[in-house]
Structure 1
Amino acid sequence: MESSMFCYQCEQTLGAKGCVKSGVCGKNANVANLQDLLVYELKGVGFYGQKAIDKGLPIDLETHKFVVDAMFSTLTNVNFDEEHFVHYIKHADKIKEELKQKVADIPDNIPEAAIYRAPETMEDMLKDSKRAGIMVDENLDMDIRSLRELLIYGFKGMAAYAHHALILDKYDDEVHNFFYKGLAATLDNTLTVEDLFNLNMELGKVNFKCMELLDAANTGAYGNPEPTEVLVTKKKGPFIIVSGHDLKDLKLLLEQTEGKGINIYTHCEMIPAHGYPELKKYKHLVGNYGGAWQKQQEEFDGIPGCILMTTNCLQKPRDSYKDRLFTTSIVGWPDSPHIEEVNGKKDFTPIIEKALELGGFTEDEPEKKILVGFGHHATLSHANEIIEAVKSGKIRHFFLIGGCDGARPGRNYYTEFAEKTPQDTVILTLACGKFRFNKLYLGTVAGLPRLLDVGQCSDSYSAIRIALALADAFDCGVNELPLSLVLSWYEQKAVGILLTLLSLGIKDIRLGPTLPAFITPNILQVLVDKFGLKPISTPDEDLQAILGK
């Protein structure tokens, strides 16, 4: 059974308006509609969860974990498996009823999402999904819808960070309780535009705490990232490419492949792993393969090795490598082999055996390396030199150029912008947007590389920490620093990060390559008036506006 859909949560949505037959990301209409129904169920969970919190009743960690994982599974390029969402909808329905029983006395005016009970079959779920679509209420005020969707997409992004922290046993009640508050708020018809705007700003602040939690989880488990040279060319031998963000899965795979003659490469969002002492100590973690996520179909085409997708950034696999692409955790593609966690453990034997069978690359490529590992700890260890270089005029300006990458034309802007930045400026970069220029040699300034790779979107906390520390050092606000943010966005983690930056009062952010389809003109004007948010233009024009010459 196939049907129509509506989704505009990512930057590449069709015609910058919305996907209506299938997603540009690769999801079919059934998956899109089941995702809508799952979010609808989670809003009901939020309603009862907030009632429980109001009564001082505890919500168990397993419920927190489910809400986070379920939200994360609806983020762009995570899971394309219809059966996965059927299972999640049933589980959400069960949790909703359990919370309802916990709360006991429920008022009469309950929203439909809280009353709704999911059917047993996918066919009936797809029929019911019509009640859950974004545009189901044609009479809803456009600005209210815009702010509700902005909140939902911010939650999807925050869920990704909370998921990774939870895997390493780090969680915070304030972070998790806000999911219930925010999800419940999207059902409350008494909330005004101002109320919802303020909730989005609150989400930004909570997301900052969530990213801080994840930073503590990663550095606690794997040490503080260190500047490290990473091989970006191929080595002879069997191999497994690890993509996504889950450092724990990478660590487990490194442990299980040690001594087996298999080279492990990171891919895309996993590249920061090379900077962590507890990961880079494995000698068979040999380098990084390929570029940004949207090039994987071409770069993985017919490769004589395996791929492990640990979180998002999955595209529809071509037949030439579908049998050697394995998923794990909440990632899924129909009929692709999936490695489950059983009793808290994962057995990577199937992917290890497949990699050995395929044989790998037959020869080494000439070596080329790039530098990663400039997280807040490493960068701020040079704070005195940086401050002195700014005071003496050796460093004129800092640019944070980063965010998501994607296939839409216009993203070459970020390559050109980086290339045209003057030699007395420093570029901080993070997330897969950096693959537009991270293999360029841009020289040094004041004894430091001009290009400092802070990490991936999961490491955005590092970039913010660096900016806040510099502001403290110069006894000024972040907006008074010689710092400009030039960001690219694609999916919902970028939405969460943008809300965090705005909630911290950071102004004059340039955003591209297009502005979100779910932001109405009125809401956009508020963001422009309040925060100076602006679209990118051309590298020359934007550099002229920033530097004044």
Structure 2
Amino acid sequence: MFCYQCEQTTRGTACTTQGACGKTPDTAALQDLLVHAAQGISQYAHRLGKMGIRRNAADAFTLDALFTTVTNVNFDPDRLEGLLRNAAALRDTLRADYAQACAAAGQAPEALSGPATWEPAPDLAGLVAQGQAVGIDTRIAALGADLAGLQELVVYGLKGAAAYACHARLLGREDESVYAFVQEALTALAEDEPSVDALLSLSLRTGAMSVTVLALLDGANTGAYGHPVPTPVLMGHVRGKAILVSGHDLKDLEELLKQTEGTGINVYTHGEMLPAHGYPELKKYAHLVGHYGGAWQRQRSEFDAFPGAILMTTNCIQQPAPGYADRIFTSGLVAWPGVTHIADHDYAPVIQAALAADGFTDESPVRHHLAGFHHDAVLGVADKVIEAVKGGAIRHFTLIGGCDGAEGARSYYTDMAVALPQDTVVLTLGCGKFRVIDQDLGTVAGLPRLLDMGQCNDSYSAVKVALALSEAFGVGVNDLPLSLVISWYEQKAVAVLLALLHLGVKNIRLGPKLPAFVTPAVLKVLVEHYNIMPIGTVEDDLKAMGLAA
């Protein structure tokens, strides 16, 4: 096993015996093989696409395969085996389609190699062995750490963008250019002679595609549920039967709300589902009563204490503790061995489990968090913000957001928010928000100093606000009074980072530690071009940002 795709990888280098996420060596190998299989599918789909032929099955499967291998999504070897066998069958269909298209065009088909020729082993053990043979450590041995790391930078950006594109597709929003690029990039990784320059270029193109995907998802969410509005959210519970929804998927939440209406069951969000309360078409459900708990890494204790059923809709699942293993359910691409999976939005088992559980017998102290500062809401008061900046009431904006994680070093983000001067506005998004939302930062120029802009899925909101302010002040994004202090954990954060680099954003502080797949040589290039830097101490970073007291 060799996995370094997340920030909490063992000793900051790689997980080699078991994943910090709980992933076993067998699961890791099957996931590596699934990416390999997606490359084989892409080799044919890319060529068909250049001939003007798109296959919906290939487009959907490629995204699903990549999303499946994102950290904390699918830990079930049986489900992974099924995906791999489906991949081989789909690849064979595409191979026949390609041969037929070439014959119709009067040209000879290319003889493809590499992933395009992979044939699945007859049993699970054989598939695991095949996955081990195409793992990252094999490529590091063949290509060196720099080239292999750059390949993984592209792969992780593709995985993150695929996750966002899957969310958009569930809401009926797709873009053929996204499918075409993902398949082109996977083909390039499978076939091209790798070089530092070519892979850096492909990374930035992945960032450009990520911007497209983030905008697509933003349109999908707002098109389905309206533009979020600032909304006070109960951070606690009320009496009654309960279901907790974690992950990111708004469609799953909507369908659950429909099916639980009138049942007497209260629905709570968890983790990155908190921003759902700001969407008009979701907040209209009276039994969406509040938010329970914090970020994903606290789920084992929080889920154990929750007296109802739990639905995990997307990535961030951890190994269920015995206390709730019989009342947690997965949906979509999420899977854990032995956990009941919900298909086709049929939540009857979840509802039954909630009714059978005790539910809350008391009410928690009343505390609210103001969510819903989507780009539409922020830009709705843009004139007031711009006037406050020009008048000196607001000196600076600091984005403190991204992913959360378990390390104590992440207290840096809380300390930074508290230490910022009173004439600064703090923007936050992603589950990194849970490091700052318990702090009372007060107001500035009649506005809350803390503006919660949503999920990591809503990163486009921050981008759109930054671009709008840039245009309003007539300066480049890097000349704005804006600092980005980002926490990262998994591959969706990589997609967002590449999107920011594509947009030319510089001076990003990244932590709590830099990615293990970015070698010193590659980091040197990123520093030279974008001045990416690791977080330091709060005191030193405030001085560097010109915000020291």
Counterpart of 1:333 (choices 331, 336, 359) is 336
Residue type of the alignment partner of 2:232: E
Any idea what SS the aligned residue of 1:72 has?
helix
Correspondence 1:126-525 to 2 at 5 A: 126-137=128-139, 138-341=141-344, 346-525=345-524
* Structure-2 separation of matches of 1:64 and 1:237: 43
Cα displacement (A) at 1:356: 0.9
Any idea what SS the aligned residue of 2:67 has?
helix
Runs of 4+ in 1 over 3 A off after TM superposition: none
Any idea what SS the aligned residue of 1:530 has?
helix
Correspondence 1:52-91 to 2 at 5 A: 52-56=48-52, 58-91=53-86
* Structure-2 separation of matches of 1:548 and 1:465: 24
Q: Which piece of structure 1 moves more, 183-192 or 327-336?
A: 183-192
1:114 paired residue number: 116
Q: Which piece of structure 1 moves more, 250-259 or 45-54?
A: 45-54
Going from structure 1 to structure 2, the CA distance change for 1:82 and 1:400 (only over 3 Å counts) comes to same
2:103 paired residue number: none
* Structure-1 separation of matches of 2:122 and 2:314: 28
Cα displacement (A) at 1:334: 0.6
Cα displacement (A) at 1:124: 1.3
Residue type of the alignment partner of 1:364: E
Cα displacement (A) at 1:188: 2.6
* Structure-2 separation of matches of 1:465 and 1:15: 36
Residue type of the alignment partner of 2:97: K
1:94 paired residue number: 89
* Structure-1 separation of matches of 2:288 and 2:276: 9
Cα displacement (A) at 1:302: 4.4
Cα displacement (A) at 1:548: 5.2
Contact 2:29/2:129, CA 8 A, preserved across alignment: no
**Runs of 5+ in structure 1 lacking a partner?**
none
Cα offsets for 1:129-163 (capped at 9, x unmatched): 22210111313132221111000000110011000
* Structure-2 separation of matches of 1:237 and 1:350: 18
* Structure-1 separation of matches of 2:541 and 2:267: 40
Alignment partner of 1:34 is 2:30: yes
Any idea what SS the aligned residue of 1:487 has?
strand
Cα displacement (A) at 1:47: 1.4
Any idea what SS the aligned residue of 1:360 has?
coil
* Structure-2 separation of matches of 1:62 and 1:265: 35
Q: Which piece of structure 1 moves more, 6-15 or 46-55?
A: 46-55
Residue type of the alignment partner of 2:340: P
Any idea what SS the aligned residue of 1:9 has?
coil
Any idea what SS the aligned residue of 1:126 has?
helix
* Structure-1 separation of matches of 2:132 and 2:415: 44
Going from structure 1 to structure 2, the CA distance change for 1:140 and 1:469 (only over 3 Å counts) comes to same
* Structure-2 separation of matches of 1:152 and 1:413: 29
Cα offsets for 1:19-64 (capped at 9, x unmatched): 11110001111110000111111111121122112222x2222321
Residue type of the alignment partner of 2:129: K
Any idea what SS the aligned residue of 1:139 has?
helix
* Structure-2 separation of matches of 1:406 and 1:421: 22
Residue type of the alignment partner of 1:435: F
Contact 2:421/2:547, CA 8 A, preserved across alignment: no
Correspondence 1:2-17 to 2 at 5 A: 5-17=1-13
Contact 2:420/2:547, CA 8 A, preserved across alignment: no
Contact 2:45/2:58, CA 8 A, preserved across alignment: no
* Structure-2 separation of matches of 1:541 and 1:191: 38
Residue type of the alignment partner of 1:256: Q
* Structure-1 separation of matches of 2:473 and 2:502: 22
Counterpart of 2:127 (choices 125, 128, 131) is 125
Please report the TM-score for the alignment, with normalisation by the length of structure 2: 0.97
Cα offsets for 1:378-414 (capped at 9, x unmatched): 0000000000000000000000110000012300000
Cα offsets for 1:412-436 (capped at 9, x unmatched): 0000000001000000100001101
Q: Which piece of structure 1 moves more, 391-400 or 88-97?
A: 88-97
Residue type of the alignment partner of 2:522: I
Any idea what SS the aligned residue of 2:137 has?
coil
Contact 2:412/2:537, CA 8 A, preserved across alignment: yes
Any idea what SS the aligned residue of 1:290 has?
coil
Residue type of the alignment partner of 1:188: E
Residue type of the alignment partner of 1:18: A
Cα offsets for 1:56-82 (capped at 9, x unmatched): 2x2222321111111101000111111
Residue type of the alignment partner of 2:206: L
Any idea what SS the aligned residue of 2:168 has?
helix
Cα displacement (A) at 1:206: 0.7
Cα displacement (A) at 1:303: 2.9
Any idea what SS the aligned residue of 1:63 has?
helix
Alignment partner of 1:21 is 2:21: no
Any idea what SS the aligned residue of 1:117 has?
coil
Residue type of the alignment partner of 2:87: A
Q: How many residues align?
A: 539
Any idea what SS the aligned residue of 1:300 has?
helix
Residue type of the alignment partner of 1:113: P
Any idea what SS the aligned residue of 1:322 has?
coil
Residue type of the alignment partner of 2:123: T
2:102 paired residue number: none
Contact 2:41/2:58, CA 8 A, preserved across alignment: no
Contact 2:404/2:489, CA 8 A, preserved across alignment: yes
Cα offsets for 1:260-311 (capped at 9, x unmatched): 1111000001111000000000010000000000000111124321110001
Residue type of the alignment partner of 1:54: K
Cα displacement (A) at 1:113: 1.2
- Superposed CA RMSD in Å reads 1.0
Cα displacement (A) at 1:338: 1.0
1:526 paired residue number: 525
2:544 paired residue number: 545
* Structure-1 separation of matches of 2:417 and 2:306: 32
Any idea what SS the aligned residue of 1:301 has?
helix
* Structure-2 separation of matches of 1:460 and 1:52: 33
Residue type of the alignment partner of 2:24: N
Residue type of the alignment partner of 1:116: W
Q: Percent identity?
A: 51
Any idea what SS the aligned residue of 1:410 has?
helix
